[in-house]
Amino acid sequence: MKTKLFKKADLFIALAVLITGIAALLLISLSQGGGRTAVVEYRGETVKVIDLDSVKEEYTFTVKGDLEVVIEVSPQGIRFLSSPCPDKRCVEFGLLNKKGQVAVCMPAGVSVRIAGEGEYDGVTG
């Protein structure tokens, strides 16, 4: 049987995929409070958690993953500043400042994401 360009079922497939994606994004950004926390992970292990709302001055730090990457934190957000990886895709992600955003350096195994209300509900000390 010949396969046509478009059938009614296609609409449902496309809508299901699209709506799942949009709903997931909305859940991430809406269901959480106003705070922004940057979570830096290396192969699934949390390396650093930064409360972006309390950052007042720009600073950088290095993460020793499979490669050593430099991450910059500023009141505006967080980004991969430099990485010795060949494709520099992590740097291309640019500044992350909205909940749900992710940047990944695959060769280093390091990821940075903006969590919504934060990994923590409060901090003592």
Interacting residues with another protein (CB under 8 A): 1-7, 9-10, 12-28, 30-35, 39, 41-45, 48-51, 89-90, 92-93, 100, 102-104, 106-107, 109-111, 113, 117, 119-125
Query: CA of 80: how far to CAs of 5, 20, 21, 112, 120, in Å?
Result: 42, 29, 25, 8, 23
Question: What is the SS3 string spanning 24-52?
Answer: HHHHHHHCCCCCCEEEEEECCEEEEEEEH
Q: Compute the least distance from the CB of residue 77 to another protein, in Å.
A: 15
Nearer to another protein, 50 or 77 (CB): 50
Nearer to another protein, 77 or 111 (CB): 111
Distance in angstroms (rounded) separating the CA atoms of residues 58 and 55 = 8
Distance in angstroms (rounded) separating the CA atoms of residues 31 and 104 = 24
Q: Compute the least distance from the CB of residue 90 to another protein, in Å.
A: 8
Nearer to another protein, 68 or 106 (CB): 106
Q: Compute the least distance from the CB of residue 97 to another protein, in Å.
A: 15
Nearer to another protein, 58 or 119 (CB): 119
Q: Compute the least distance from the CB of residue 105 to another protein, in Å.
A: 8
Sheet holding 77-82, edge to edge: 59-64, 68-74, 77-82
